[in-house]
Amino acid sequence: MAFAGTVFAQGGAAADLRNVVQLSAAGTVEVQQDLLVLNLATSKEGPDAAGVQAQLRQALDAALAEAKRSAQPGQMDARTGPFGLYPRYGKDGKINGWQGRAELILEGRDFARITATAAKIQTMAISQVSFSLSREARAKVEGEAQTQAIEGFRARAAELTKGFGFSAYSLREVAVNSNEMNPGPRVRMMAAEGKVAAMADAPVPVEAGKAQVVVNVSGSVQMR
């Protein structure tokens, strides 16, 4: 837990701010990450935009069709990611070609299913692997972190009240917010497109770390 406090002493500009202390407390619970997000991507280039777009669409359609064969809600969901075309300029400043990139995202709690499916996709390579918490996992521990934060806030308020020579306090206002902290960085993988076929039937090994669910309680109390 973490605590902080600021006191407004008697004789302040506003009478209702006398004997008011602002403070905050945080509750933190560490939990195993249970959601894998795997990005696959392909890049194409050519002399005209229509041709590049057609190549990207063909690669994406094939990848999406393969992913849908193994898709299962919550365990592995497939969705398209960014799809873009960009002009390529020559030394004279004029457009001399086009390049583009398309992405497919596999996400879910079944790590084995996701990595096995990615290995079967021949038209795209893995570009990024990241982990997070599912809403279910987050909800399970968020209440525990919130209880820690509230208890810490009340204990700190009572301690400050006693320390400044008052016998009781009343709550003026309070705010509660939560966030997820992932200590480990995302893993980026750059693979040459020509090597994609060699990756078939060889799923990339993945291992999730732990995340911290943090709930902060902040507000002010009036000592009396």
Which of the 8 DSSP states describes residue 34? Answer: -
Between vectors from CA 194 to CA 47 and to CA 95, what angle results, nearest 5°? 15
The answer to whether 181 touches 214, Cβ cutoff 8 Å, is yes
**Looking at the 3D structure of the chain, how many domains does it have?**
2
Contact in structure between 108 and 79 (CB atoms under 8 Å): no
Domain housing 55: 36-131
Q: What is the pTM of this model?
A: 0.71
Examine the domain organization and report whether 102 and 66 are in the same domain. yes
Distance CA 195, CA 85 (A): 23
- DSSP β-bridge partners for residue 212: 30, 181
- Which secondary-structure segment (H or E) carries 132? strand 125-132
> Is there a single domain that holds both residue 90 and residue 27?
no
Same domain, 8 and 68: no
Domain final position from 131, 147, 168: 131
pLDDT score for 116 = 96
Lowest mean pLDDT among 61-65, 77-81, 117-121, 189-193: 189-193
- Which of 131, 160, 192 is the endpoint of a domain? 131
Average pLDDT, the chain: 87
Residue type for position 46: G
Distance, in Å, from the CA atom of 52 to the CA atom of 32, rounded to the nearest integer, reads 41
Check whether residue 51 and residue 66 sit in a common domain: yes
In a domain, 143, yes or no: yes
Q: Which tokens is 32 given?
A: 């195993």
**pLDDT reported for residue 204:** 82
Residue 90 within any structural domain of the chain: yes
Same domain as 90, residue 40 = yes
pLDDT in tens, 82-122: 999 999 999 999 999 999 999 999 999 999 999 999 999 99
